[in-house]
Structure 1
Amino acid sequence: MKIAISVPDAVFQAAERHAQRSQKSRSQLYAEAVAEYLHRHAPDDVTEAMNRVIDQVGTAPDPFVQAAAQSVLARVEW
């Protein structure tokens, strides 16, 4: 899909330099930037993904981790 956007000159120039250095087209650079922005700013998607992982692995404490934590806590001066 083709779109037209406006960006500040400084941002455009920095993006052009980065595209050249990384040997990417301008379209690829902007598409990756928008995809990363959406990924970082979509908390519902992140929450859903974390919930899927928790459903797969469960929430019961790992016996080894629990024993290691207790051992560390026993040696820490309070």
Structure 2
Amino acid sequence: MKVAVSIPDSVFEAAEELAARRQCSRSSLYAQALECLLAEVDADDVTARLDAVYADEPSNLDPALRDAQARAVAESW
């Protein structure tokens, strides 16, 4: 799909340099950048949902589990 966007000259120039270094097309670079941003936003959404769950639920480890974990960490493997 073709899209027209306006970006600052400095961003365009930096993107051109990066595309040249990565030996990829401008379109490919912008597509990769958007994919990264979309994944990051998706991860932030998951974090926000988990934060909402733990706002109402205790996130402490059960004392027995905490003690077992401490003993396991202290052991040499």
TM-score (norm 2): 0.60
Return 5+ residue gaps in structure 1 as ranges.
Answer: 48-65, 74-78
Structure 2: which amino acid aligns with 1:17? E
Return 5+ residue gaps in structure 2 as ranges.
Answer: 48-66
**Number of residues paired by the alignment?**
60
* Root-mean-square deviation (Å): 3.3
Offset, 1:29: 0.2
How far apart, in 1, do the equivalents of 2:72 and 2:28 lie? 51
Confirm whether residue 7 of structure 1 aligns to residue 7 of structure 2.
yes
Percent identity, aligned pairs only, is 52
How far apart, in 2, do the equivalents of 1:28 and 1:39 lie? 16
Name 2:40's counterpart in structure 1. 40
Change (3 A) 1:9 1:68: same
Moved over 6 A (4+): none
Name 1:18's counterpart in structure 2. 18
Name 2:70's counterpart in structure 1. 69
Change (3 A) 1:31 1:72: closer
